Amino acid sequence: MEEYVDLHVHTTASDGTKTPREIVEMAAEVGLKAVAITDHDAVDGIDQAIHTGAELGCEIIPGVELSATVDGVDMHLLGFYVDWTHRSLLEQLRYFRKVREERAAKIVQKLNQLGLHIRLEKVKEVAGDGAVGRPHIAEVMVQEHVVGSFNEAFSRYLGNKSPAYVPKFKISPKAGIEMIRSSGGIAVFAHPGTVRRDELIPSFIADGLQGLEVIHPDHSGATTQHYLELAKKYGLVTTGGSDFHGPNTNMSDLGGFCVPYAWVEKLKELRKEN
Protein backbone atom coordinates (compact mmCIF):
# COMPACT_ATOMS: atom_id res chain seq x y z
CA MET A 1 0.00 0.00 0.00
CA GLU A 2 1.38 3.39 -1.04
CA GLU A 3 2.25 5.73 1.84
CA TYR A 4 1.99 9.49 1.42
CA VAL A 5 3.54 12.62 2.92
CA ASP A 6 3.14 16.39 2.87
CA LEU A 7 6.44 18.26 2.52
CA HIS A 8 5.23 21.86 2.67
CA VAL A 9 3.30 22.85 5.79
CA HIS A 10 3.04 26.03 7.90
CA THR A 11 2.10 26.41 11.55
CA THR A 12 1.46 29.19 14.05
CA ALA A 13 5.23 29.47 14.36
CA SER A 14 4.98 31.60 11.21
CA ASP A 15 1.81 32.49 9.31
CA GLY A 16 -0.19 29.27 9.68
CA THR A 17 -3.37 29.14 11.72
CA LYS A 18 -2.84 25.72 13.35
CA THR A 19 -0.31 24.93 16.07
CA PRO A 20 2.43 22.37 15.36
CA ARG A 21 0.58 19.88 17.57
CA GLU A 22 -2.68 20.43 15.69
CA ILE A 23 -0.89 20.01 12.35
CA VAL A 24 0.56 16.65 13.39
CA GLU A 25 -2.79 15.50 14.79
CA MET A 26 -4.41 16.40 11.46
CA ALA A 27 -1.64 14.62 9.54
CA ALA A 28 -2.11 11.47 11.60
CA GLU A 29 -5.87 11.66 11.14
CA VAL A 30 -5.62 11.77 7.34
CA GLY A 31 -3.07 8.94 7.36
CA LEU A 32 0.11 10.77 6.37
CA LYS A 33 3.29 8.84 7.14
CA ALA A 34 5.38 12.02 7.37
CA VAL A 35 5.01 15.79 7.32
CA ALA A 36 7.62 18.53 6.88
CA ILE A 37 7.26 21.64 9.05
CA THR A 38 8.42 24.44 6.74
CA ASP A 39 7.50 27.72 8.43
CA HIS A 40 8.47 31.03 6.89
CA ASP A 41 11.72 32.24 8.46
CA ALA A 42 11.04 30.21 11.62
CA VAL A 43 11.89 26.87 13.20
CA ASP A 44 10.13 27.43 16.53
CA GLY A 45 7.40 24.86 15.86
CA ILE A 46 9.67 21.91 15.16
CA ASP A 47 10.20 20.67 18.73
CA GLN A 48 6.47 20.51 19.46
CA ALA A 49 5.82 18.80 16.13
CA ILE A 50 8.49 16.16 16.76
CA HIS A 51 7.15 15.49 20.26
CA THR A 52 3.60 15.07 18.94
CA GLY A 53 4.80 12.99 16.02
CA ALA A 54 6.50 10.58 18.43
CA GLU A 55 3.19 10.22 20.30
CA LEU A 56 1.09 9.64 17.19
CA GLY A 57 3.49 7.72 14.98
CA CYS A 58 3.89 10.46 12.36
CA GLU A 59 7.40 11.19 11.10
CA ILE A 60 8.41 14.86 11.29
CA ILE A 61 10.91 16.42 8.90
CA PRO A 62 12.41 19.64 10.29
CA GLY A 63 12.37 22.38 7.67
CA VAL A 64 12.13 26.06 6.86
CA GLU A 65 10.98 28.27 3.97
CA LEU A 66 12.98 31.34 2.95
CA SER A 67 12.13 34.19 0.57
CA ALA A 68 14.69 35.28 -2.00
CA THR A 69 14.90 37.52 -5.04
CA VAL A 70 17.00 37.44 -8.20
CA ASP A 71 16.85 39.88 -11.12
CA GLY A 72 13.75 41.42 -9.53
CA VAL A 73 12.01 38.01 -9.45
CA ASP A 74 10.63 36.67 -6.17
CA MET A 75 11.20 33.03 -5.30
CA HIS A 76 11.09 30.73 -2.27
CA LEU A 77 13.50 28.11 -1.02
CA LEU A 78 12.63 25.12 1.13
CA GLY A 79 15.18 23.61 3.50
CA PHE A 80 14.69 19.99 4.63
CA TYR A 81 16.44 18.33 7.58
CA VAL A 82 17.92 21.62 8.76
CA ASP A 83 19.53 21.66 12.21
CA TRP A 84 16.96 23.90 13.88
CA THR A 85 19.33 24.52 16.81
CA HIS A 86 22.14 25.81 14.58
CA ARG A 87 23.38 29.10 16.06
CA SER A 88 23.99 30.98 12.82
CA LEU A 89 20.64 29.89 11.36
CA LEU A 90 18.80 31.05 14.49
CA GLU A 91 20.56 34.42 14.46
CA GLN A 92 19.62 35.03 10.84
CA LEU A 93 16.01 33.93 11.42
CA ARG A 94 15.71 36.28 14.41
CA TYR A 95 16.67 39.15 12.15
CA PHE A 96 14.15 38.03 9.51
CA ARG A 97 11.47 37.91 12.20
CA LYS A 98 12.21 41.52 13.19
CA VAL A 99 11.87 42.59 9.56
CA ARG A 100 8.56 40.67 9.23
CA GLU A 101 7.16 42.58 12.20
CA GLU A 102 8.20 45.86 10.60
CA ARG A 103 6.47 44.76 7.40
CA ALA A 104 3.27 43.95 9.31
CA ALA A 105 3.32 47.42 10.87
CA LYS A 106 3.55 49.01 7.42
CA ILE A 107 0.65 46.89 6.11
CA VAL A 108 -1.53 47.85 9.07
CA GLN A 109 -0.65 51.51 8.53
CA LYS A 110 -1.72 51.23 4.87
CA LEU A 111 -4.98 49.59 5.88
CA ASN A 112 -5.66 52.38 8.37
CA GLN A 113 -5.02 54.95 5.64
CA LEU A 114 -7.57 53.13 3.49
CA GLY A 115 -10.13 53.53 6.27
CA LEU A 116 -9.88 49.96 7.61
CA HIS A 117 -9.17 50.44 11.28
CA ILE A 118 -7.35 47.50 12.82
CA ARG A 119 -4.62 47.59 15.45
CA LEU A 120 -1.13 46.12 15.17
CA GLU A 121 -1.37 45.02 18.82
CA LYS A 122 -4.35 42.83 17.91
CA VAL A 123 -2.45 41.30 14.99
CA LYS A 124 0.47 40.45 17.29
CA GLU A 125 -1.98 38.94 19.77
CA VAL A 126 -3.40 36.69 17.05
CA ALA A 127 0.10 35.72 15.90
CA GLY A 128 1.07 34.75 19.45
CA ASP A 129 4.61 33.39 19.57
CA GLY A 130 4.73 33.00 15.80
CA ALA A 131 6.29 35.36 13.29
CA VAL A 132 3.69 37.91 12.18
CA GLY A 133 2.39 37.38 8.65
CA ARG A 134 -0.38 38.46 6.32
CA PRO A 135 -2.72 35.60 7.37
CA HIS A 136 -2.71 37.01 10.91
CA ILE A 137 -3.67 40.43 9.56
CA ALA A 138 -6.40 38.84 7.43
CA GLU A 139 -7.73 37.01 10.49
CA VAL A 140 -8.00 40.28 12.43
CA MET A 141 -9.70 41.93 9.46
CA VAL A 142 -12.36 39.20 9.54
CA GLN A 143 -12.72 39.43 13.32
CA GLU A 144 -13.18 43.21 13.11
CA HIS A 145 -15.73 42.77 10.29
CA VAL A 146 -13.84 45.02 7.87
CA VAL A 147 -13.97 42.16 5.33
CA GLY A 148 -16.31 39.23 5.01
CA SER A 149 -13.73 36.49 4.58
CA PHE A 150 -10.07 35.56 4.64
CA ASN A 151 -10.00 35.34 0.85
CA GLU A 152 -11.57 38.80 0.50
CA ALA A 153 -8.83 40.24 2.71
CA PHE A 154 -6.20 38.93 0.32
CA SER A 155 -7.99 39.59 -2.96
CA ARG A 156 -8.90 43.19 -2.10
CA TYR A 157 -6.15 44.38 0.22
CA LEU A 158 -3.24 42.08 1.08
CA GLY A 159 -2.39 40.16 -2.08
CA ASN A 160 0.45 41.05 -4.42
CA LYS A 161 -0.23 44.40 -6.14
CA SER A 162 -3.19 45.07 -3.81
CA PRO A 163 -3.43 48.50 -2.12
CA ALA A 164 -2.04 47.43 1.28
CA TYR A 165 0.65 45.11 -0.05
CA VAL A 166 4.20 45.60 1.23
CA PRO A 167 7.02 43.56 -0.35
CA LYS A 168 8.84 40.99 1.78
CA PHE A 169 12.44 41.34 2.86
CA LYS A 170 14.40 39.00 0.63
CA ILE A 171 17.90 37.65 0.31
CA SER A 172 19.70 36.31 -2.75
CA PRO A 173 19.08 32.68 -3.72
CA LYS A 174 22.79 32.02 -3.14
CA ALA A 175 22.56 33.37 0.43
CA GLY A 176 19.40 31.37 1.12
CA ILE A 177 20.92 28.15 -0.21
CA GLU A 178 23.99 28.77 1.92
CA MET A 179 21.84 29.28 5.03
CA ILE A 180 20.13 25.96 4.44
CA ARG A 181 23.22 23.98 3.50
CA SER A 182 25.37 25.37 6.33
CA SER A 183 22.77 24.19 8.84
CA GLY A 184 22.90 20.67 7.40
CA GLY A 185 19.77 21.03 5.28
CA ILE A 186 18.80 20.11 1.73
CA ALA A 187 18.01 23.16 -0.42
CA VAL A 188 14.97 22.93 -2.73
CA PHE A 189 13.47 25.47 -5.14
CA ALA A 190 9.87 25.92 -3.94
CA HIS A 191 7.00 25.94 -6.47
CA PRO A 192 9.20 26.93 -9.45
CA GLY A 193 6.15 26.98 -11.71
CA THR A 194 5.06 30.24 -10.06
CA VAL A 195 8.36 31.83 -11.06
CA ARG A 196 8.92 30.30 -14.50
CA ARG A 197 12.60 31.21 -14.71
CA ASP A 198 13.94 27.80 -15.57
CA GLU A 199 17.04 29.35 -17.14
CA LEU A 200 18.20 30.31 -13.63
CA ILE A 201 18.15 26.76 -12.30
CA PRO A 202 21.70 25.85 -13.47
CA SER A 203 23.11 28.85 -11.59
CA PHE A 204 21.13 27.84 -8.48
CA ILE A 205 22.60 24.34 -8.78
CA ALA A 206 26.07 25.85 -8.98
CA ASP A 207 25.27 27.64 -5.71
CA GLY A 208 24.24 24.36 -4.07
CA LEU A 209 20.56 23.81 -4.93
CA GLN A 210 19.66 20.13 -4.57
CA GLY A 211 15.99 19.77 -5.47
CA LEU A 212 12.77 21.04 -7.05
CA GLU A 213 9.31 21.13 -5.51
CA VAL A 214 7.31 19.64 -8.34
CA ILE A 215 3.91 19.07 -6.67
CA HIS A 216 2.20 22.23 -5.40
CA PRO A 217 -1.33 23.71 -5.49
CA ASP A 218 -0.18 26.28 -8.06
CA HIS A 219 1.22 23.62 -10.39
CA SER A 220 -0.98 22.07 -13.05
CA GLY A 221 -0.47 18.46 -14.06
CA ALA A 222 1.56 19.63 -17.05
CA THR A 223 3.69 21.88 -14.84
CA THR A 224 4.35 19.03 -12.42
CA GLN A 225 5.44 16.81 -15.32
CA HIS A 226 7.67 19.56 -16.69
CA TYR A 227 9.55 19.92 -13.40
CA LEU A 228 9.77 16.18 -12.90
CA GLU A 229 11.60 16.06 -16.22
CA LEU A 230 13.83 19.00 -15.30
CA ALA A 231 14.71 17.38 -11.97
CA LYS A 232 15.68 14.20 -13.79
CA LYS A 233 17.71 16.19 -16.32
CA TYR A 234 19.71 17.98 -13.62
CA GLY A 235 19.90 15.10 -11.13
CA LEU A 236 17.83 16.87 -8.48
CA VAL A 237 15.59 15.36 -5.81
CA THR A 238 11.85 16.06 -6.04
CA THR A 239 9.46 17.18 -3.30
CA GLY A 240 5.83 18.23 -3.07
CA GLY A 241 3.22 19.44 -0.66
CA SER A 242 0.05 21.36 0.02
CA ASP A 243 1.61 24.65 1.23
CA PHE A 244 -0.99 24.29 3.98
CA HIS A 245 -1.57 27.39 6.13
CA GLY A 246 -4.79 26.27 7.80
CA PRO A 247 -8.48 25.74 7.05
CA ASN A 248 -10.34 28.56 5.28
CA THR A 249 -7.14 29.94 3.76
CA ASN A 250 -6.41 30.14 0.06
CA MET A 251 -4.26 27.01 -0.15
CA SER A 252 -4.91 23.27 -0.40
CA ASP A 253 -5.94 20.93 2.40
CA LEU A 254 -3.25 19.19 4.43
CA GLY A 255 -2.23 16.05 2.56
CA GLY A 256 -4.26 17.16 -0.43
CA PHE A 257 -1.73 15.73 -2.90
CA CYS A 258 -0.38 12.22 -3.33
CA VAL A 259 3.29 12.82 -2.54
CA PRO A 260 4.97 9.42 -2.15
CA TYR A 261 7.00 8.50 0.91
CA ALA A 262 9.70 7.30 -1.48
CA TRP A 263 10.60 10.96 -2.00
CA VAL A 264 11.40 11.27 1.72
CA GLU A 265 13.71 8.27 1.39
CA LYS A 266 15.53 10.09 -1.43
CA LEU A 267 15.92 13.14 0.85
CA LYS A 268 17.37 10.89 3.55
CA GLU A 269 19.88 9.42 1.11
CA LEU A 270 20.95 12.91 0.05
CA ARG A 271 21.15 13.98 3.69
CA LYS A 272 23.78 11.29 4.33
CA GLU A 273 25.88 12.75 1.52
CA ASN A 274 25.69 16.35 2.84
Residue 251, pLDDT score: 67
Contact 274, 183 (CB under 8 A): no
Write down the pLDDT at residue 249. Answer: 63
Residues 234-262: b if buried by 16+ CB within 10 A, e if exposed: eebbbbbbbbbbbeebbbbebbbbebbee
Q: CA gyration radius for the chain?
A: 18
Q: pLDDT, tens digit, for every residue of 60-89? A: 999 999 999 988 888 999 999 999 999 999
For residue 264, pLDDT over 80 is answered with: yes
- Measuring CA to CA, which residue among 265, 154, 241, 235 is closest to residue 191? 241
pLDDT digits 0-9 by tens, 246-259: 886 666 899 999 99
CB neighbours of 252 closer than 8 A, spacing ≥ 6?
217, 242, 243, 244
Q: Residue 219: how many CA atoms within 13 Å on its side-chain side?
A: 25
Alpha carbons 173 and 15: distance in angstroms, whole number:
22
Query: What average pLDDT does range 28-39 have in this prediction?
Result: 97
Q: pTM of this prediction?
A: 0.85
Tell the burial category of 142 from Cβ atoms under 10 Å away from its Cβ (0-12, 13-18, 19+).
middle
Q: Does domain 4-92+168-273 have CATH number 3.20.20.140?
A: yes
Please check whether residue 212 is in contact with residue 230, taking contact to mean a CB–CB distance below 8 angstroms. Answer: yes
Residue percentage of the chain with pLDDT more than 70: 98
